[in-house]
Amino acid sequence: MSINTILIIFVVYLFAMIIQRVCGFGMGIIAVMILPYFTGAHTHAAAYTNILSAISASYIAWKFRENVRWKLTIPILCGSYLATFLSIRFLGNASFDLMEKILGIMLLVLSVYFLFFKGKIKLPSDPQYGFLAGLIGGITNGLFGAGGPPVVIYLLGATASHAIYLATIQGYFAFNNIYATIVRFLSGQLTPEVLTGLWGAIPAMVLGIFFGDRLAPHLPDKTILKGIYILMALSGLNMLR
């Protein structure tokens, strides 16, 4: 992997992590929309996002561990572990063009949900719905490193407060992304070339958190998120042309 590609990885994840810290959402989506065009494969963006999410979510979950409701995460993780394993295996044999079409559909569906239905759809807190949310999230996490939205919808309805929701979903992200990283390693997707890109991704995560924490009080997160959702829709349409 060239120095220029590592620098591109750094810039993409610096921007993505700042958005994540300001808005609480967006790192995986931004990375998977941009990075494959420079690395030539979707596996890079998915792998880096899983690794960075495993690190950051583990720290936050440990910090707020008294608010994590681990019982809620069990059915979600069961569904996610199954789907993540199968989708990562599929990703290893899929062509770039096919993955681009699948990503385009996913971006369109997510953009429509976040623009028009966010907060209006809630799943019952029954374990079977948690399993379903994990199953759907596991598919998109395995393919693109972006498996949060279905789990967000479920946990928003299953938790009693915002603090419990935030801590619980970080606990889910920690275990799910550690597992996804292990599956990618065993599937041969964490090649020396991919791991070299971490020289750009990890410093970007640290600096992104640093700058994001300082910018968050001064930036309109709702306006930024709306811009991201519109960008997702436009990117999805372009990928499906």
Q: Which of 87, 66, 67 is nearest to 176 (CA)?
A: 87
Q: What is the pLDDT of residue 218?
A: 74
Q: Is the pLDDT of residue 51 over 80?
A: yes
Domains identified in the chain, total number: 1
Helix (H/G/I), strand (E/B), else coil: 77 = helix
The model's pLDDT over 63-106, given as tens digits with 9 standing for 90+, comes to: 888 988 999 899 999 999 999 888 888 876 667 677 778 778 87
Q: Which of 140, 212, 201 is nearest to 176 (CA)?
A: 140
Q: Is the pLDDT of residue 133 over 80?
A: yes
Q: Domain containing 178: what range?
A: 3-239
Q: What is the pLDDT of residue 28?
A: 78
Instruction: Tell which wins on pLDDT, 10 or 229.
Output: 10
Q: Which of 188, 136, 155 is nearest to 24 (CA)?
A: 155
Is the overall model pTM greater than 0.75, yes or no?
yes
Residue 182's contacts (CB-CB under 8 Å, 6 or more residues apart) are none
The model's pLDDT over 192-233, given as tens digits with 9 standing for 90+, comes to: 988 999 999 999 989 988 888 787 677 666 676 677 777 778
First to last CA, the chain: 30
Question: Cα 94 from chain centroid?
Answer: 20
